[in-house]
Chain A
Amino acid sequence: MATNWPTSDAVTSLAQSLAVGSSTGDRSAAGRLGLVVIVLLLVAAAGISVTTGASDASFGHVVASWLGHANAADASLTRDRIIIMDIRLPRMVLGALVGAALAVSGAILQGLFRNPLADPGLVGVSSGAGLGAVLVIVLGSALLGPLFAVAGLYALPFAAFLGGLASTFLLYGIATRRGQTAIATMLLAGIALGALAAALTGLLVYRANDTQLRDITFWSLGSLAGSDWTKVLAAGPFMALALAATPFLANGLNAMSLGEASAYHLGVPVQRLKAIAIFAVAGATGAAVAVSGGIGFVGIVVPHLLRLTIGPDHRLLLPGSALLGASFLLVADAISRSIAAPAELPIGIVTAMVGGPFFLWLLLRRRGLLGT
């Protein structure tokens, strides 16, 4: 039968005849370059993190000792070594992990809800995780008994993970109908869920003893102070698992930006994608909240800046968010440690000072859309 459908030869010649450069509208090369820049940024931020602090401990001093260029008997070297290796390094690693986890959680939530305003802190996921964490602090030894001593290390991030999971599921169920998320419903439901979790947390605080109270106060501050290798070990696996899941989410989230139905038509197993996304967000946010409290706005500022520069393709956006989120939090932490040194500003204040105005700017830009 005669047909007008182009044969592959015809396609070949047509493609060659098209004068347009084959890369127009293709931002992947620029995006990869952007990733390289962000990696360099992270290296710089890590450097700032290790060299900034209340004491004058010198990272160079410690490095020199590794290279055999320092007097091993030097008392200040021992002190510097302890400060660098047991205080600043774990703090740097934890800060980078928490920043990456929060930023990636934001990017995944935004892709899942098809909405750039979703953020684990704003929509109540962090509050749910906080509730889980406080639950373990206050009731952990009563519920788990002698097991608590063994499971204690992981009980905290695991409970925070469960709390985050519950609030993410609830939020998704409330805000999404037939694959469409109502923006106003999502933000309002997030506020309601966050308030509910905060109220329950408040109730638990009444049952807490003095030691527990001190642990709980820690959450309201949102801080990386008190980072040590134990916390890295406890929370690290949850965040690492969540970050490891992102390559499997990228293509699906790209398709999801056309809507759930179109994503299915494009071959995406939508229900499975959503389940993985929700678990990844709950794991990353839960672990981050468990070790650092409620640090807000990282998840909204970082992915948005990246979309403006390298575009919204999740294959680049997700790793980019992890790297830039880590850098962002390391710099914020360095600021929080040095701005009022030797006192320390809670890092949540720094991220809110940046993120609050940024979020308002986003809202004003989208004002026309928000009313609908």
Chain B
Amino acid sequence: MTMLAARNLSVRLAGAKILDTVDFVAAAGEVTAIIGPNGSGKTTLLRALSGELPVAGDVALNGSDIRNLKPWQAAALRAVLPQATVLAFPFTVREVVRLGLAAGGAGVPSAMLERLPEVALERVDLAGFAGRMYQDLSGGEQQRVQLARVLCQVWTPVLDGVPCWLLLDEPVSSLDIRHQLLVMNIARDFADAGGGVVAVLHDLNLASLFADRVVVMDRGKVAANGTAAAVLVDDVLARVFGCDLRVGMLPAPGIPFVLPHAALSQNPIGRS
């Protein structure tokens, strides 16, 4: 079983029903994006999939009920990137990244384990940051340090035929465009190498560009589910997000097209 699946999943937090009988399947080798408006239950779904929340219904990680996995067994199979992480104490970047290594790092040659934090930092474009204090970094840099930590935990996408999982909660929320693409490419590569990726995304274009499968959440339920082309359509988005959205398509190759946006914003026509 190479899937991360939830069946009939319901979650109550502080009395409110946040998830209502959700069915969800993510396959290893794919990037699955969870999209939806604020408060629709995206993060809660991700937290439930991680095994962190008490839930009604079933969550199965690679075929095993997540409740039957010891925390350290689950940690060897999946790593979770939270939206933002505030550290209680003054750790260096290397010490933070190494926490991921302490929890996992399976399949990495032991000679390489010591160097893996640096390799992971290089991968998230933070080469040379190992000696910096985590607290002194910008929000976007901190987010990438956490990604490096998460990557160290499940560095090997497939271990002895068993896929590992990256659960990413808004992994690009505080990143510039270059690093948004960098992080999404890491997710893409991890999936292409056989691992599974589930990412909560707000950017519908990134979801469209990188996700094999898109799950649309709305008020605690799954509103739509399928390939980006099938799900990202005008009526679904308008209904779920409550605003008039139009999905555009690139024209067929070889046909030039012109976007008027630049003219509108740079030097408005008709205004002096």
Which one of A97-105, A160-168, A263-271 contacts B?
A: A263-271
Stretch at the interface among B88-96, B171-179, B207-215, B217-225: B88-96
Look across to chain A and name the residue whose beta carbon is closest to the beta carbon of B189.
Answer: A4
Q: State whether B112 touches A15 (Cβ < 8 A).
A: yes
Please choose the segment from B101-109, B236-244, B255-263 that sits at the chain A interface, where 4 or more of its residues have CB less than 8 A away: B101-109
Q: Determine whether B203 belongs to the interface, using a CB cutoff of 8 Å to chain A.
A: no
0/1 string, A108-132, CB within 8 A of B gives 1: 0011001110000000000000000
Q: How many contacts A-B (CB < 8 Å)?
A: 141
Assess the A25–B89 pair: CB atoms within 8 A.
no
A264 to B108, Cβ gap below 8 A?
A: no
Output the nearest chain A residue to B104 by Cβ-Cβ distance. A267
- Which of these, B78, B104, B131, B185, contacts A25 with CB under 8 Å? B131
Q: How large is the interface on B (under 10, 10 to 19, 20 to 34, 35 or more residues)?
A: 35 or more
Tell me, yes or no, whether A312 is within 8 Å of chain B by CB.
yes
Q: Mark A1-39, 1 if CB is under 8 A from B, else 0.
A: 111111010011011001010101111000000000000
Find out whether the CB atom of A264 lies under 8 angstroms from the CB atom of B127.
no
Interface size bracket, A side: 35 or more
**Interface segment out of the listed B3-11, B55-63, B68-76, B227-235:** B68-76
Render B152-179 as a binary contact track against A, CB cut-off 8 A, 1 for contact: 0100010000000000000000000000
CB-defined interface of B77-117 with A at 8 Å, one 1/0 digit per residue? 01110100111111111111001101110001101101110
B65 interfacial by beta-carbon distance below 8 Å: no
CB distance from A269 to the nearest CB of B (A): 5
A203 CA / B246 CA spacing, docked (Å): 73
> A51 in the interface, Cβ–Cβ < 8 Å?
no
Asked if B92 and A265 sit within 8 Å, CB to CB, the answer is no
Q: Find B89's partner among A24, A259, A307 (CB 8 Å cutoff).
A: A307
Known: A15-B112, A20-B128, A258-B87. A311 touches B99 (CB 8 A): no
Contact B90 A26 (CB under 8 A): no
In the complex, which residue of chain A has the Cβ closest to the Cβ of B29?
A1
Q: Which of B75, B128, B188 has the most CB of A within 10 A?
A: B75
Question: Contact: A267 with B103, CB < 8 Å?
Answer: yes
**Contact residue among A1, A22, A266 (Cβ-Cβ distance under 8 Å from B192):** A1
Pick the residue among A25, A27, A257, A270 that contacts B88 (CB under 8 A): A257
Residues from chain A with Cβ under 8 Å of B192 in the complex? 1-5
- Residues in chain B near residue A2, CB distance under 8 A: 192
Known A14-B119, A25-B130, A267-B71: A307·B90 in contact at CB below 8 Å: yes
- Do residues B74 and A12 form an inter-chain contact, with CB atoms below 8 A? no
Complex: how many Å from CA A218 to CA B132?
Answer: 49
Residues of chain A lying within 8 A (CB to CB) of residue B79 = 265
* A255 interface residue per 8 A CB criterion: yes
- A176 at interface (Cβ–Cβ under 8 A)? no
In the complex, given contacts A18-B118, A18-B119, A269-B70, what are 8 additional A-B residue pairs having Cβ atoms less than 8 angstroms apart?
Answer: A1-B192, A5-B157, A27-B92, A257-B88, A258-B87, A261-B52, A266-B100, A268-B72
A-B residue pairs, 6 tightest by C-beta: A267-B75, A25-B94, A5-B193, A312-B89, A114-B88, A267-B72
| Residue contacts A-B, CB under 8 angstroms, 15 given | A4-B189, A5-B195, A15-B115, A18-B127, A24-B128, A25-B94, A26-B94, A27-B95, A251-B102, A254-B99, A265-B80, A266-B99, A266-B100, A266-B103, A266-B153
* Interface positions of B (Cβ within 8 A of A): 47, 50-52, 70-76, 78-80, 82, 85-96, 99-100, 102-104, 108-109, 111-112, 114-116, 118-119, 122-123, 127-128, 130-132, 153, 157, 185, 188-190, 192-195
